Structure 1
Amino acid sequence: MNINPWVPPLVLLGAAFIVLLVGEPSDPVALGLASFSALIALTGAVQSAAHGLRPAAAAFYLFWFAWLGVGPIAQLTLGRVAWGDTRALADPAAVHLALVLTALAIACFSIGDLATRARASRPSLAARASIRPGVHALVVAALMLVGLNAVRVLGLDSLFASRTERGDALDAAGGSLSDAGGVVYALYTVLPSGLAIAATLLGLYRLQLAARSFARVHVHELGLFLVGFVGLILFANPLSQTRFIALLAFGALVLAALRPRTPGAGFVFLAVGAVATLLLYPLASAFRRGSFSAAEVTADTFASADFDGFQQVVNTLSYVQTHGLAAGHHLLSAVLFFVPRSVWPDKATIASADVATHAGYSFTNLSLPIHAELYLQFGGVGIIVGMVLLGMLASRVDSAWLHAPLSKWAMLAPLVSMAMFGVLRGPLGAQVPAYLPAILILLVAVRSGAPPTPGSDPVADYRVHPAGAR
């Protein structure tokens, strides 16, 4: 077996970091389970870079290590969690079960990832895709119409104000986040950012494909890209949008433009991702207030609201024990987010709000880790099946990214990779509406091509051109 020489020292370094966090454990079983989950994620992250960057899996493993690895370890060591909730760690049995389910979830994701990776076939992935210019033009036209309407109703200033101020503007327009799922919310928040993300990526891909084939870049193609990019600045900037929508927009754009695929680029991705998830992620929440300081990040940061994922797993167990399983009600409501409650009175509220309300929190705009939501819907079977399928999806996208850079799946990879952060953080009722429009547009706008001729190498063909991978 060919092992990258960087893998053992990086895994050992991460393990040492975990041991340093643990200190003197008051509950060795709990800290052992939390450390096991963190080590699975750390090993998966390093493996996702060792033989070429696999961005979807790397992003998922990285955020899991920081948010559901380092976070719980710090909370168990400090003996406290977010919101001053003294009950979340009071029941050792519930804590242990939550940690077992967390370790099971990341293990199932890894199984799906590695099993699909082993079966990946380069020839089946190597079809050359193209962009449907008519669909791209329609997306840009829709962005201009929807965007101008959003600017007219919300005001241009609100698009560069803090998220709290933008939320006030949205409430004034009748699109309160508490009523997420209405048509107004979709028109003013979801659609503008989704259309801008899709329009920008489609424009970038058209420019790259033209450069690859040494074709002339037309002015209108550059114009369509620029319109999309202006849309990103207006509707997906980190000042007024959530961290996860801003990351989806600009992270996917950078990934698609640079196309990092080598092991060296993979380890740079891991380094940047580690800094982003452990430092920049909590700092970014300051955009809600409009001010921040790097000094705000201390050991207590990992027991703050930005790392509320583990306690929400514990809270989910309590919710299910009282109310039973939801049988997919929240998931269906997430996918059909655009249906107003006036039409669907039984439409579920966001799952994390139900869990937080049951826990007695006054503030219910919290996270809900993907495996906790799967457990809420379908129990342990939901965790096993859902996490294996998610790992398979990540591996499928990553294999295309590495071995078939001109394929439709490879063009979806930047979006899917950045979406992994939000999917993990949850709840799906908040993340699916943010991600689904852009992904669906790309699925329609990108046309799958014919496989390359026998003997050709699509990766080598792509690398020799200016827009190729680096």
Structure 2
Amino acid sequence: MKRPLKCEGWAGLLSYKSTGGDPFRLLARSGVQVRGGEQRSVAAVCCWALFFVVFLPALILQSIDTRFGVALAVQCVVVVHTGVGLARVLTDTSVRLIAFGFWLFSYVWLGLAPLAMLATDTYPLGYRTGETTAFGAAVLTELGLLAYTAGAALAAGRNGARSAVLEPLLSRTLAPLPVLLLCCLSLLLAVVLIPGQEGGLRAYFTSRQALWQSGTQSDTAHALRVWGLAVPAFWSMVALVHLPRRATGDRLLRTIRRLLLPALLALNVIVNNPISRPRFWAGTVLLVLLFSWHRFNTPPAFRRTAVAITAVVLFAFPYSDYFRYDEREALQLVGLAEQFSTAMDYDAFQQMQTGVDYVQENGFTPSSLLGVILVMIPRTMWPGKPQATGIEFAQYAGYDFQNLSAPLWIESYLWGGPLCVVAVFCLLGAAGRRVDDIRARLRGRQSTLAVLLVPAFAFYQLIFLRGSLMAIVAPLLLLLIVPFFLTRTAGRSRLPSLVRSPATAGHALIPGHRRHP
């Protein structure tokens, strides 16, 4: 329920209007929600829920000989849970990017794809398990979803409360000098690193299959060079676009921006293109550019764009690896059931089954969490450093190809069992909801860390949830830390203190009058 308008006095707002300011913009910048705003459409929620919970599952199951069992029954519960969660995000009256990324991944990779696998008894990988293991994996998925939902609900109950850590952090604003320094550093790194690596510029337009076969992409030094160039180049371009602009007095900055922006755009085409970089990362780059634009900060624009992204992920994602291979065959369209049960892109649920068997045979492995935390320590200094969980499961199953996923569900289960899964996902749900709420309150300020960083994590979250964590935590830290050095603490507003926060204010007051209970 939205809180009523809360301010110290309408006279103050009128006074601010007389100076040429817009009182409604002042209210928006202060995080005030005005009574009578947009309400969630119950009809829209029901329509989207029917589409995700009934229509798409029926489309998958209609043309196959379904094998019913207890695991499939639990998986139907997962589909209902994730479908309703995604429907609620797509009909929300606020922009919830973190929630959208989570429910989109959960619905497609751990909802529909396992449904097709369990119904057809067909899997993309060779390792096969029994009904008990499949049941355990489905229960583990639903346990994480319940914990995430509970954490988000608890955080939503404190929507008006200000976070002592997250709010000041996400309120930081871009500073011109650090942004320009990073732009120059990115261009300098490009001049040094691109010609110096094997293959030079041509390597950035070489398929990932060729890089794997040559052994280049598996080299740690090569990965550090690639990410050390790709992430700063990306943030340089985004930050330069979003630097605050003044009507007068920044002619030099505008000139520098016009000179640097084309060079940074060309650099990002080279180092962040979908040919040599993973689809998840290339998609993150494009979506951050899209959702950091102020036109997509409104709920209606977010809903329309989120629906389009959902459609692309559902129907076009498996065909987006066209540039991954040297020998490209003609695209062959297949049904959703075959797509989900045979494509290696959807190995998450089967890897969870492998993980359940692995834990049953070898026990829990808390040291794998230590490997994630201390991922930057090289193996030469730590000979017993754990392997990435996806690689560990691949070796356990006897696969030759080891670049496989390990969803956060099975990673956290490996650390300490079901209680660890509950703790991890409850914290993830609470943190995600708080971050989404803070970004909504800062929607009117276009140069804050919230506008840039939240979309970046929201869409990179798909890789984070898919795992393995040890394979992606270093790029993730780089992605999150670099913007921090481009910003400075937000100064106190020069606007008059007319509006109180929703957490502390009550009814609208006339100055000089007491508040009545």
Q: Same fold judged by TM-score > 0.5? A: yes
Contact 2:174 2:449 in 1 (8 A): no
What residue number does 1:29 align with? 70
Contact 2:292 2:451 in 1 (8 A): no
Partner residue of 2:475 out of 429, 434, 439:
434
Within-5 A mapping of 1:248-263: 248-263=284-299
CA gap 1:262/1:135 in 2 versus in 1, 3 angstroms: closer
What residue number does 2:309 align with? 273
Structure 2 residues not aligned, in runs of 5+: 2-38, 502-517
Distance apart, 1:196 and its partner CA: 1.4
Q: Would you say how many aligned residue pairs link Structure 1 and Structure 2?
A: 444
What residue number does 2:358 align with? 319
Q: Give the structure-2-normalised TM-score.
A: 0.79
Structure 1 residues not aligned, in runs of 5+: 459-470
Within-5 A mapping of 1:319-358: 319-327=358-366, 329-358=367-396
Contact 1:183 1:338 in 2 (8 A): no
Is 2:235 the partner of 1:193?
no
Larger helix percent: 1
Distance apart, 1:19 and its partner CA: 3.8
Partner residue of 2:175 out of 114, 119, 132:
132
What residue number does 2:509 align with? none
- 1:291-318 deviation digits (Å, cap 9, x = unpaired): 3655244331101211111010010111
Partner residue of 2:209 out of 161, 164, 168:
164
What residue number does 1:73 align with? 115
Counterpart amino acid of residue 268 in structure 2:
L
CA gap 1:409/1:128 in 2 versus in 1, 3 angstroms: closer
Contact 1:199 1:225 in 2 (8 A): no
What residue number does 1:145 align with? 188
Counterpart amino acid of residue 112 in structure 1:
G
Contact 1:369 1:426 in 2 (8 A): yes
Contact 2:53 2:80 in 1 (8 A): yes
Distance apart, 1:74 and its partner CA: 0.7
Structure number with greater CO (CA < 8 Å, separation at least 6) is 2
User: What is the CA–CA distance in structure 2 between the aligned matches of 1:141 and 1:168, rounded to whole Å?
Assistant: 34
Contact 1:122 1:403 in 2 (8 A): no
Counterpart amino acid of residue 135 in structure 1:
P
What residue number does 1:111 align with? 150
User: What is the CA–CA distance in structure 2 between the aligned matches of 1:457 and 1:140, rounded to whole Å?
Assistant: 38
User: What is the CA–CA distance in structure 2 between the aligned matches of 1:114 and 1:57, rounded to whole Å?
Assistant: 12
- 1:337-363 deviation digits (Å, cap 9, x = unpaired): 443322222222211000111012121
Is 2:437 the partner of 1:399?
yes
Within-5 A mapping of 1:376-455: 376-405=414-443, 406=445, 407-450=448-491, 452=493, 453=495, 454-455=497-498
User: What is the CA–CA distance in structure 1 between the aligned matches of 2:416 and 2:247, rounded to whole Å?
Assistant: 47
Looking at CA atoms only, which structure, 1 or 2, has the larger radius of gyration? 2
Contact 2:208 2:276 in 1 (8 A): yes
Contact 1:95 1:314 in 2 (8 A): yes
User: What is the CA–CA distance in structure 2 between the aligned matches of 1:145 and 1:297, rounded to whole Å?
Assistant: 46
Contact 1:316 1:372 in 2 (8 A): yes
CA gap 1:220/1:300 in 2 versus in 1, 3 angstroms: same
Is 2:53 the partner of 1:53?
no
What residue number does 1:236 align with? 272
User: What is the CA–CA distance in structure 1 between the aligned matches of 2:378 and 2:185, rounded to whole Å?
Assistant: 21
What residue number does 2:511 align with? none
CA gap 1:128/1:263 in 2 versus in 1, 3 angstroms: closer
What's the % identity of the aligned pairs? Answer: 24
User: What is the CA–CA distance in structure 2 between the aligned matches of 1:278 and 1:365, rounded to whole Å?
Assistant: 22
Counterpart amino acid of residue 251 in structure 1:
L
